[in-house]
Amino acid sequence: MRGPVPRSLSLGAAVSVLALLLPAASFAHHSIAAGFDPQQVIEIEGELTAIRWQNPHILLTVAVTDTEGRKVSWELESLSANGLGRTGVSAALFHLGDRIRVAGNPSRRGLDRVWATNLLLPSQQEIMFGGPPQRAPRWSERVLRGSESAQTNEGTAANVELGVFRVWSSGRNFLTRIPGVQNRNDPLSFPLTAEGRAAAEQRRPPADTVGCAPKTMPWIMTQPYPIEFVRQGDTVVLKIEEYDTVRTIPLAPVPEANTPSRLGHSVGQWEGSTLVVTTTHVAVGDFGSVGGGLIPLSSDATFVERFTPSADGAYLEYSLAITDPRYLNEAVTLEKRWLNVPGAQLLPYNCTQR
């Protein structure tokens, strides 16, 4: 069932609960599914009273009049300011005092909070936050689609001589592929050892989806934002927009590290045009958004990444092989493709805590 709020409810107070199954992948980012129920959709309408245009998620506050005439403040949360801005959705579209209509997924804890998927402006323009391009709008034919990744899956052939050393953008289908795993959001679909299974059953994603704790390896590599490779002598620097992350990758040979860290100890080498990076000594690792933050990796895990630019410079093929003698019975491989998008650049992330 979809459509407008039932007429039996006052539009100003309406909060209608509608059953809707959303793709689990849309809830992988920042453990959104931990705080919001993707199986349900509610609609609210009210006056926009606060705007926080920030990363990792924007926050809007709406004053809704309930059925007893009381004003209730609802918090609306959605995608990042950086990602939305790349698709033309900016804070300039919103004005305090606007009467807006919102559909989204309700709080699992019964709070007056919604993960916004659709928003109708006073101009009758509908903003659709994320989701596949074939997803239909709810209310209007005037649609602006916001996303955290490029609205294309096509790279542009150019500057072959640069190899990996440029900015690479995530395509529309930015999610990392995991060959051989039936359900990427089910920890038990992964080839876990008994110790790994026990650890997975104890893991719980954070309830707060707006946080600024930087991601660990390999989770940071599954994110939807641009990355950039920079050459600095015998070192490759990998800049990642999300959380303003910087990975330093010295080229072999280098001494081994003994101290675990969030991003681990990486060493790179060239195989033709392919940059191969081996990372160990990750202090706290997990698959992160690949599995909803529930699939752990031990400190014994080893990660081997391969970054291969296409012959025409349009794409960067990425693979990550993970071995973990404690938690995995066999290696797990993640695969992804980045795009060469003319004019793309990394933006300051400047994460803002709730």
pLDDT for position 26: 45
Longest CA–CA span in the chain (Å) reads 71
CA angle 207, 321, 297 (to 5 degrees): 35
Residues of the chain with pLDDT > 90, as a percent, come to 65
Q: Would you give the end-to-end CA distance of the chain in angstroms?
A: 33
C-alpha to C-alpha distance for 74 and 87, rounded to whole angstroms: 26
pLDDT for res 31: 61
| Mean pLDDT calculated for residue range 185-208 | 81
pLDDT of residue 206: 61
Residue 89's pLDDT is what?
96
Handedness of CA 203, 349, 241, 57 (dihedral sign): positive
**Residue spans per domain, the chain:** 16-146, 160-339
Instruction: Output 100 or 175, whichever has higher pLDDT.
Output: 100
Looking at every residue in the chain, the average pLDDT score rounds to 87
- Residues 265-296 have pLDDT tens digits of 999 999 999 999 999 999 876 666 554 446 78
pLDDT (tens digit, 9 = 90+) per residue, 75-134? 999 999 999 999 999 999 999 999 999 999 999 999 999 999 999 999 999 999 988 878
pLDDT at 25: 41
Query: If you average pLDDT over residues 30-36, what whole number do you get?
Result: 74
The answer to whether 317 touches 337, Cβ cutoff 8 Å, is: yes
Q: What is the pTM of this model?
A: 0.88
Higher pLDDT: 339 or 353? It is: 339
What is the CATH superfamily name and number for domain 16-146?
Answer: Nucleic acid-binding proteins (2.40.50.140)
Cα four-point dihedral sign 174, 177, 183, 189:
negative
